[in-house]
Amino acid sequence: MGTFDQSKAYAAQEEGTNFFDDGREIELLHFVYSHPDLDGFRGSPAKVLGAIDEYGRTKKYLMNVGEAKGKIVTDLIAEVKPEIMVELGGYVGYSCILFGEALRKAGGQRYFSLERNPEFGAVIMALVDLAGLSDIVKVVVGSSDESIARLHSAGQLKRIDLLFLDHYKPAYTTDLKLCEELGIISVGSVMAADNVIKPGNPPYLKYVRSTVETKKAKYEEDGADASNVKGIREANVKMYEKRYGEAKFNQSKGNPNLVYDSKLINSFEPTGVPVCHVLTMSAGVPVRGIHFYNQHVPKNVLLIFFSLATLPVSIALACLGFLHSRIYRGSRTIVDGHQPCKRILVTGISTTSGLTIARLLNRYSRHRIFGADVEIIPLTSPGRYSRSVAKFFRLDAPEGDNAEPSVDSLLSIIRKEKIDLWINCSTIVTAVEDAEIKRLAGQIRGPGFKSVQFSEDAVRRFHEKDQFIGYIRSLGLQTLESHRCTDEEEVMQVLLVVENRNKDRKFVMKQVGEGARDKALGVTLLPFSDAEETKRYIKKLKISKEDPYHLQQYISGPEYRTHTLIIHGRVISFVAYRSTSIPIHYTALPPISPLSKYMLEFTETVAREGGHGFTGHLGIIFQAESESEDAEIYPVSCNLGAHTSIILHQQTEQLAHAYLPLLNDSQFEIPSTIIRSQTPSPSYYWIGHDLVTLLCIPILSNFVGYGNVKKEIVEESILELWEHLRYWKDGTFVDWDPLPFLVLYHVYWPLQFLRALMKGRRWTAIDVSTMQMAEE
């Protein structure tokens, strides 16, 4: 527990309930705002906390968590790295400023401070603002249970990663149960509760230490439950009666299936009174910590079973679709009837982008489409069964980092099959190697060979994030402030020499290249208010010439992405969409939206500046300053190559025309208008993904009871799924070409799951649109 530095002790706490709500909170505000050092407090959480402590020491007692107990929670924040943290009971903002700052350092997003007394709420807001934390802290005035329910129903509070309970003792249990019932405290949530032994909160301790069986028995009981006050000192139960009258409690029943690991930590009150306990807890499930259906064996077995169980429906759908297409769709519409038949190779034919392009070309042109892909289990690649593919080729898989086998097999196909146009939709090798293939294939096939692939010099300009930003800036286009740093000094120059930059500007750092640490750094916003702390943080990264970092100005608005086909420096087709938390849901922005217009103009400039040889698929990722329709947006990175989002062009017949100018420069004019997605364009989803995530998982969770996935949440998920089924389009299913869909869900993935089981390969996520399986 350590010792307490008596020079830091607050004034003693007055008797009874005379130690708060007597005007001292407003007095504190005057004290801080008339302090001779006020200017130095601005933007400094540590200094504002120092001023509050000074008042508590030299003027009157304040019921703050204080430095000693505060350290327990700030350590917990650094360990847990919560995105969303909530405190119950804000008082004058001491814990809010201390923990809000710690949350920011840990890369968190939002700190909600729930305070019942509006006068105290106003004090918190004024001090949080002074400390420069208003961007991350939200003060919510009102009774905690009402505020929790309101924030939840407004969609602002979907889960709590870390909850700090420090308000009204009897409400600890009832509010925790409410959070459990709403599902915002769930497996993985962590809690810290103050004063559970002294002055004491027996009902709360009892509840979080009860077994599932005891809680379930209580759960079944009907009638009002008053156990949340039993054993709490009367003075504490009546603490707020003077102002609010007799307390009323919400009667939420909680989630009896959650269990808590708990630990009591001894500490000191800010007055120096010892043995005040903070109870830290993490919520878990009774069995092994993760849902059984998320464990390796059950997960794969259930998915194989699900695939088998849905096979008859898929077959029926495929047959009906096919019949429908035969009756209503008619034959192919050839748009280039005069052109000689050419041989087009689409690599990555089983991905959504490969299939989409092959289908469009097959339907609307007279050329022969060849498909190629790496196929780990023979005969399982969905693309090989597409009606749009005249012949399928199996590419050799790369051997670890060595892409040579894939490159060689691809070049040999291009040579043997006399390919005229190569459209690359694969993710087999990197953009740099793809550019090399373009060059080598050109040498093998001669000048008649064309490809939708950027050349090596273009890839070099765009491949790395910092090179891309540097290039964009060299074109005179607007970018966010960013720097490539190869040592600590450079970072410090940017972060700490304020004259060089806007004082309030924050930065995020990323390792250059595909480093594993990219993820770990998350969105830690720099600099911290304490320069020494910033230096320590930067030192730990060990930045060097060999291991450089990219420092980029942080803005908090939404992310937008584009997908463009560029031929000879001209934008041929363009679509923009907003990034979603689920990467395989796509909805196009209307072409008339100001954001879409801006992104198109921007891309046109980049394409034009690329020159005549600039040909390929390009996606630019933009970050907006705010949610507004006409917010400023900035490019932050790009990806080279066809992307799943090309699905937004699935019904854009003209896209088939778009590739054709490449085949014969002299005969075919590049279209004068840019091809946009159909308006209104349907949104896209992948049924296999949505059936599992929006139907199976919520139902299983509800059935098993772990994680408190409540009925309403299950209903919400099912409604979302229903909306997708009715109004959205599946990214793989096409009525005239249903086999890839059948093979994808009933051959490819079940065999991948079987292989994962047999080889013991644990995976964490799959992407049905790109056929990728992320292994642990």
Ligand X SMILES: C[S@@+](CC[C@H](N)C(=O)[O-])C[C@H]1O[C@@H](n2cnc3c(N)ncnc32)[C@H](O)[C@@H]1O
CA 688 to chain centre: 21
Is 370 one of the binding residues for ligand X (CB under 6 A)?
no
> What is the nearest approach in angstroms of ligand X to the Cβ of residue 756?
47
Segment 197 to 216, residues that bind ligand X, using CB under 6 A: none
Tell me which of 44, 74, 144, 702 binds ligand X, using CB under 6 A. Answer: 144
Q: Which is nearer to ligand X, 64 or 255 (CB)?
A: 64
CB 276 within 8 Å of CB 269? yes
Please report whether residue 64 would count as binding ligand X according to CB under 6 A.
yes
Shortest reach from residue 19's CB to ligand X, in Å: 10
Cα–Cα separations (whole angstroms), residue 663 to 435, 462, 707, 733: 19, 26, 56, 29
Name beta bridge partners: 343: 368
Question: Within 13 Å and on the Cβ side, how many CA atoms surround 93?
Answer: 36
Give residue 213's Cα distance to chain centre. Answer: 36
Among residues 161, 166, 269, 466, which is the contact residue for ligand X, using CB under 6 A?
166
| Cβ(364)–Cβ(388) below 8 Å | no
Q: Does 171 bind ligand X (CB under 6 A)?
A: yes
Residues pairing with 577 in the sheet: 561, 588
Which one among 4, 55, 61, 91 touches ligand X, defined by CB under 6 A?
A: 91
Q: State which residue, 265 or 496, has the beta carbon closest to ligand X.
A: 265
Q: Which of 84, 114, 687, 697 binds ligand X (CB under 6 A)?
A: 114
CB of 270 to ligand X, least distance (A): 9
The smaller minimum CB distance to ligand X, of residues 116 and 177, is found at 116
Place of tokens 């491949």: 463
E-strand ranges in 682-731 read: 684-685, 729-730
| C-alpha–C-alpha distance, residues 424 and 372, integer Å | 10
The token duo for 514 is 């595909």
Cross-strand bridge partners of residue 635:
622
Q: What is the number of the residue whose Cβ is closest to ligand X?
A: 89
> Closest distance between ligand X and the C-beta of residue 152, in Å?
15
Distance CA 661, CA 369 (A): 16
Spatial contact of 355 and 386, defined as CB atoms under 8 Å apart: yes
CB under 6 A: which stretch of 59-67, 380-388, 635-643, 764-772 binds ligand X? 59-67
Task: Give the range of 81-89, 151-159, 276-284, 377-385 binding ligand X by CB under 6 A.
Answer: 81-89
- Candidates 112-120, 419-427, 687-695, 730-738: pick the segment binding ligand X (CB under 6 A): 112-120
Decide: 374 and 383 in contact? Cβ < 8 Å. Answer: no
The answer to the question of residue 65 lying near ligand X (CB under 6 A) is yes
Question: Is 67 within 8 Å of 270 (Cβ atoms)?
Answer: yes
- For position 169 contacting ligand X by CB under 6 A, the verdict is no
- Residue 271 engages ligand X in binding (rule: CB under 6 A): no
Q: Pick between residue 187 and residue 276 the one whose CB is nearest to ligand X.
A: 276
**What gap in Å lies between CA 742 and CA 730, rounded to an integer?**
13
Q: How far is the CB of 115 from ligand X (least distance, A)?
A: 5
Minimum CB distance to ligand X, residue 94 (Å): 3
CA–CA separation, 333 and 291 (whole Å): 51
Among 45, 82, 89, 688, binds ligand X (CB under 6 A): 89
Are the beta carbons of 47 and 40 closer than 8 angstroms? yes
Q: Which stretch binds ligand X (CB under 6 A): 10-18, 111-119, 289-297, 393-401?
A: 111-119
Minimum CB distance to ligand X smaller for 65 or for 607: 65
What does the alpha-carbon distance between residue 265 and residue 246 come to, in Å, rounded to a whole number?
32
Q: Is 95 in the site for ligand X (CB under 6 A)?
A: yes
Among 4, 24, 139, 143, binds ligand X (CB under 6 A): 143
Q: What is the bridge-based pairing of β-strands 259-268 and 507-511?
A: unpaired
Q: Does 240 bind ligand X (CB under 6 A)?
A: yes
**Taking CB under 6 A as the rule, does residue 167 contact ligand X?**
yes
Q: Which of 112, 168, 249, 364 lies at the binding interface for ligand X (CB under 6 A)?
A: 168
User: How many Å apart are CA 487 and CA 374, to the nearest integer?
Assistant: 41
3-state secondary structure 324-388: HHHHHCCCCCCCCCCCCCCEEEEECCCCHHHHHHHHHHHHHCCCEEEEEEECCCCCCCHHHHCCC
Mark the segment that binds ligand X (CB under 6 A) among 85-93, 325-333, 510-518, 637-645: 85-93
Q: Which is nearer to ligand X, 95 or 307 (CB)?
A: 95
Which member of 63, 196, 494, 606 binds ligand X (CB under 6 A)? 63
Which has the closest alpha carbon to 250: 181, 163, 175? 175
Question: Which stretch, 42-50, 90-98, 225-233, 282-290, contacts ligand X (CB under 6 A)?
Answer: 90-98
Enter the tokens of residue 356. Answer: 């989409």
Residues 6+ apart with CB under 8 A from 58: 11
Q: How far apart are CA 262 and CA 256, in angstroms?
A: 16
Instruction: Determine if 116 is a binding residue for ligand X (CB under 6 A).
Output: yes
DSSP assigned state of 683: P
| Nearer CB in complex with ligand X: 55/385 | 55
Q: Which stretch binds ligand X (CB under 6 A): 83-91, 273-281, 329-337, 409-417?
A: 83-91
Of residues 105, 87, 273, 115, the one with CA closest to residue 194: 87
CA nearest neighbour of 724 among 691, 698, 681: 691
When the beta carbons of 147 and 386 are compared against ligand X, the nearer one is: 147
Q: Is 436 in the site for ligand X (CB under 6 A)?
A: no
Restricted to residues 633-692, the positions that interact with ligand X (CB under 6 A) are: none
CB of 552 to ligand X, least distance (A): 34
> For ligand X, how many residues bind (rule: CB under 6 A)?
22
Give dist(CA 313, CA 316) in Å, integer: 5
Which residue's CB is nearer to ligand X, number 40 or number 118?
118
Q: Whose Cβ is closer to ligand X: residue 139's or residue 419's?
A: 139
Quick check: 277 binds ligand X (CB under 6 A)?
A: no
Q: Which residues bind ligand X (CB under 6 A)?
A: 63-65, 87-91, 94-95, 114-117, 120, 143-144, 166-168, 171, 240
